[in-house]
Amino acid sequence: MAEVEVFRINPVLNKCYEHAEYTREQGNWPDERYFTNVPPNYVGKFIRFEQSGAGDGSQRTDYFRHSNGNEVAVYSSYEGRTSFREVPCRQQSDSGTKEKGGRRRNKRKSKTKTKRRTRRRRRTKRRNKRRTKRRNKRNKKRMHLKIK
């Protein structure tokens, strides 16, 4: 892949970005340019950031809302190579239907999963009941011995 120019910027609220760590820099400060040979990853619309620490131990995390609805976190690198590129926002794709090229979900699998979950819950409830009964018996014996 050819090199792509990326920018060391702080994202602006409600704009969409791609993220990549720059691999090469060109020029001298303040006219530096940054390039990467790794394809930038679409992260979505910028919604917020969190910053903690101070000085050399500070950390910054930028949060984005991807077009599929997931929240994506981008952690700033210690070296300061975290770079972004502003791009047009992507629309949410309809990936749930077969006609649109998405995969269909098998309903039978979800039923078996719920059956398994209920079985597991029942088992754990039974085990917990047995354990509490045993504990109660032990405590009664101990209490009875203490009273005498």
Q: Global pTM?
A: 0.60
**pLDDT digit string, tens, across residues 70-106:** 999 999 998 999 999 999 998 875 544 444 455 555 5
CA distances from 57 to 9, 17, 54, 77, 145 (A): 20, 26, 6, 11, 60
**pLDDT digit string, tens, across residues 108-126:** 555 566 777 787 888 888 8
Output the CA torsion sign for 55, 56, 58, 61. Answer: positive
Indicate the domain borders of the chain.
4-86, 114-148
**pLDDT digit string, tens, across residues 21-59:** 999 999 998 899 999 999 999 999 999 999 999 888 889
Q: Confidence band (pLDDT; 50, 70, 90) for 14?
A: very high
What is the distance between the terminal CA atoms of the chain, rounded to a whole angstrom?
85
